[in-house]
Amino acid sequence: MIVRVLGCSGSIAAGFKTSSFLLDDDVLIDAGTGVSELPLDALACIDHVLISHSHLDHILSLALLADSVMRPRAERGRGPIQVHALPETLAALREHIFNGVIWPDFTRLPSAERPALQLVPFAVGDTLTLGREQRRIEVLSAAHSVPAVGFAADGGAAGWWVYTGDTGPNPLLWQRLRGMQVAQLVIETTFSNDGAQVARLSQHLCPQALAHELQQLEGCVDVHITHIKPGEMNSVMAAIARLDLPHRVRALVAGDLMRLA
């Protein structure tokens, strides 16, 4: 199992793309601006998109993805891309994005019988089996300012790849992870400690909060920091380096590959 980092920034600037991770070549986890890193042929191979929550930095490319691949997928006889999310997230997409005002309704285009997108609800705790490799992906709890989730992909004997999504302090997440062999953890740390109040109010993490969360993660795990705001990288990672953690911690950059044999 290979996870390719297309985007891992908390916002945009030159060289920074927002959250999107490609699992093997056909399952996309979040659809931020990083999706634009893929050529058209690779975009057309995506059969499933898992959306953690409705905020723009995680869904921005979804509408454009549908538009880009509608024709090549139809020519290849491919069905609709299945978009998996909480019911509240799917409702937000219908009302605010695919409404004919912000963007055409690609859940009914090019036709209601053969749309470019199909919206598929899930719930926290569900286990999905997706993609040509039949990957098992569990929907995890997240605590954010809107309904949100994280995801855990089963790498078999190599352990689980876990993506927390956007979340503040979340005891339910760590309670579930205690029963998993976590090999790699992707966790957001959006603000430096100077922004701790903003992080708390918006239900994100700063290094101080990250330290408390990671104390609940057993063993010695490869921890990958994502969602840092542009301009905050040095202060965030310097503060994390001063923490007394048993884990191997590094910042993700676009283009990174995470492999689970």
Which domains does the chain show, CATH number per domain? 2-256 (3.60.15.10)
**Contacts of residue 109, Cβ cutoff 8 Å, sequence gap at least 6:** 70, 115, 116
Contact present, 167 and 144 (Cβ < 8 Å): yes
pLDDT in tens, 214-249: 999 999 999 999 999 999 999 999 999 999 999 999
pLDDT band at 212 (very low <50, low <70, confident <90, very high): very high
One-letter amino acid for residue 44 of the chain: A
**Angular region, 12: left φ>0, alpha ψ -120 to 50, beta rest:** beta
Which one-letter DSSP state was computed for residue 134?
A: T
Residue % of the chain over a pLDDT of 70: 100
pLDDT band at 91 (very low <50, low <70, confident <90, very high): very high
135, containing H or E segment: strand 135-141
Per-residue H/E/C for 19-72:
CEEEECCCEEECCCHHHHHCCHHHHHCCCEEECCCCCHHHHHHHHHHHHHHHHH
Task: Number of helices (H) and strands (E) in the chain: give both, helices first.
Answer: 7, 14
171, containing H or E segment: helix 171-177
Q: Is the pTM of this model over 0.75?
A: yes
